[in-house]
Amino acid sequence: MAFKHRSIAYLLSILIFVSLHVANGIPPETICGSTVNPTYCKNILANQNGNIYDYGRISIRKSLSQSRKFMNSIDSHLQGGSSLSQSTIRALEDCRFLAELSFEYLSNTYTTTNQSSNVLPTSQAEDFETFLSAVLTNQQTCLEGLNTIASDQRVKNDLLSSLSDDMKLHSVTLALFKKGWVPKNKIRTSWPQNGKHLNFKNGRLPLKMSNKARAIYDSARRNGRKLLQTNTNEDSVVVSDVVVVSQDGSGNFTAINDAVAAAPNNTVASDGYFFIFITKGVYQEYVSIPKNKKYLMMVGEGINQTVITGDHNVVDGFTTFNSATFAVVGQGFVAVNITFRNTAGPSKHQAVALRSGADMSTFYSCSFEGYQDTLYTHSLRQFYRECDIYGTVDFIFGNGAVVLQNCNIYPRLPLSGQFNSITAQGRTDPNQNTGTSIQNATIKAADDLAPKVGTVQTYLGRPWKEYSRTVFMQSFMDSFINPAGWHEWNGDFALNTLYYAEYSNRGAGSSTVNRVTWPGYHVIGATDAANFTVSNFLSGDDWIPQTGVPYSSGLI
C-alpha cells in the first residue's frame, strides 16, 4: 500500500512540474526556432510570456488583424478605380476575393482556438492547418497577380510592402499552430477495405432525395433525359434537390450559372447535395462556384458530351487566377462526366481550364483540356479519379493538397522551343500540408505530340516555388519522358528545398538510373510513399465516401 501511495505521489509531482512548466511559459526565442523566420517571430512575440498555445493565439490574432487591414487597403484602392488600368483592377479584384477567404479562415481558427482548451480533435486541427496553409497560398496568388499584370506602380508599391510583412506573419502563425495543435500524423501502412461506392459509369446512381427532388427527377426522366438511374436497394448519395440544365430549354435552366445561383446557401454535408444534371452540349460559359454554394454535385453526360469552354488567358489581360473557364471555392463540390476546356491555345500562354480552391472537392471521370496551366489545383484538399488531363507547360499546378488517382495524363505539342512540364507545384512554406500526389496514372503523349516526341522534351515537373512537393507513384510512364525526369526552374533555385519523389513506377520512362541528383529528389519506398495516399495525405476516408466516387485509400 505504501508503494502505491509513493507511486501516486510521484505521478502527481510530474503532473505539477509539467503544469508549472506550461504555466510559466517558454521564452519566445525557444518557440521561434521552429519557424521559417525566427527573427521576425521574436519581433511579433516580443515582451510576451506564455506557452506554445498562448503564443499561437497571439499570432493568430495578429494575422486576423492584419488580414482585415489588408482587405481595407484593397478596398480603398478599388474605390478609386476610375484612375486605375483595367489590368490593375483585375489584379485587385483577385486580391480582394482571396483576402476575404483568408479572413474567414483566420476568423474561424481564432474563434475556435480562443474559446477551446489546448486540445483540438485531430480532424479539426487538420482542417485549420489546411486553412492556414491556404492563407499563405492566397497571399502568394495576390502577389503574383499584382506583379504580372498590374500596371499602376503606386498601388503595387503600397500593397507589395504589406504583402511581404503579412506573409511572414502568416508563416509564423502556421508554424506555431502546427507545433501546438496538430498531432504528429499516425501514418497508416495498411488500410481498411473501402466502403461501397456508386457506379456512375454504368448509368446507376443511387440517390436518396426529398419528394420535391424526386418529382423533378422523375419528370426529367419521363421527358427523355438520360439521367442516371436510381436503385434504392443500395447505399445512396443523399440529394436535397435536383435541377436540369439543358440548352434546348427542356430543363429547369439553359445556363449552368443560373443553376448554381438557384442552389441554397451554406448547406452542410448532412443536408445532402444540390444535384445539377447538365445535358450534352457545348456550354460557352465562365462558371464560378462561390464559397456559399457548398455541396453541389454537378453531373454531365460524359467526357466530350457535356463540355464547358472558354478562352480567357494572360496575354489578353487576365490574371492566371482569373483566366479559368470554371472556378470553384464552394466546399464539398463534386463533378462527374464533364469536360472543362480552355481553347486559348499555346500562343496565349497561361490559360486555365479549371481552378479549384474548394476544400474536399472531388472530380471523377472528367477531362481538363488546355495547354499552359490547364489544371489549377489552387488550394485546400482535392481528389481526382479517372480523369484525363491535357497540356504543355506546368499543366498541373497550384498549392492544394491533391491526389490524382488512376488518371490519364497527356502532354501535348507545345510552342516551338518550349518543353513540356507536367507539374509545377507551388508550396512556399515547409509547414504547409500541401503537395501533388499522382498515383497509378498513365502518362502518354497526346495525338499531336506523339509523332514529334523525339523533338520535344517532356519532364515530370519543375519547382515553381521554394518548397515544391510532388510525388509520382505506381504510375506508367511512356518512353518520351526525359531520362532526367525533372527540370530546374531557374538555376539552382529550390533544388535543396523541394521534395520530389518517385515510387514503384513502370514503363520505359520510369527508370530512375539517370534521374537528377538534386538534394531534394528521392527514390522512396513504401513507408514514405504511404504519406501521400488518399488516407494519409487528404484524410480522404473521412469525406470521399459520401460522394459515391470510387477510390483507393492506400497504396495499390
Q: Which residues are known catalytic residues?
A: 394
- Residues 552 and 383: their CA atoms lie apart, in Å, by 11
Cα-based distances in Å from 282 to 165, 301, 364: 45, 12, 19
- Residues 109 and 111: their CA atoms lie apart, in Å, by 6
SS (H, E, C) 339-366: EEEECCCHHHCECCCEEECCCCEEEECC
State which amino acid sits at residue 287. V
Maximum distance among all alpha carbons in the chain? 87
3-state SS assignment for residue 213 = helix
Q: Please, what is the angle between helix 153-181 and helix 122-149, to 10°?
A: 160
3-state SS assignment for residue 149 = helix
Q: Which residue has the cell 486541427?
A: 125
Q: Are 380 and 371 in contact (CB under 8 A)?
A: no
Using the Cα atoms of residue 287, residue 357, residue 141 and residue 369 in order, give the sign of their dihedral.
negative
Q: Are 274 and 297 in contact (CB under 8 A)?
A: yes
Q: Are 368 and 343 in contact (CB under 8 A)?
A: no
Q: Which residues pair with 506 in a beta bridge?
A: 476
Q: What is the dihedral of CA 450, 453, 454, 456, to 10 degrees?
A: 140
Cα-based distances in Å from 234 to 69, 176, 194, 208: 52, 45, 15, 10
Length of the chain in terms of residues written: 556
- Residues 317 and 275: their CA atoms lie apart, in Å, by 34
Q: What angle do CA 530, 551, 189 make, to 5 degrees?
A: 20
Q: What angle do CA 451, 456, 458 make, to 5 degrees?
A: 110
Residue 102 belongs to what H/E stretch?
Answer: helix 86-115
Which residues make Cβ contacts (< 8 Å) with residue 446, sequence separation at least 6? 390, 410, 411, 412, 413
- Residue 541 is given by DSSP the state G
Using the Cα atoms of residue 434, residue 112, residue 329 and residue 168 in order, give the sign of their dihedral.
negative
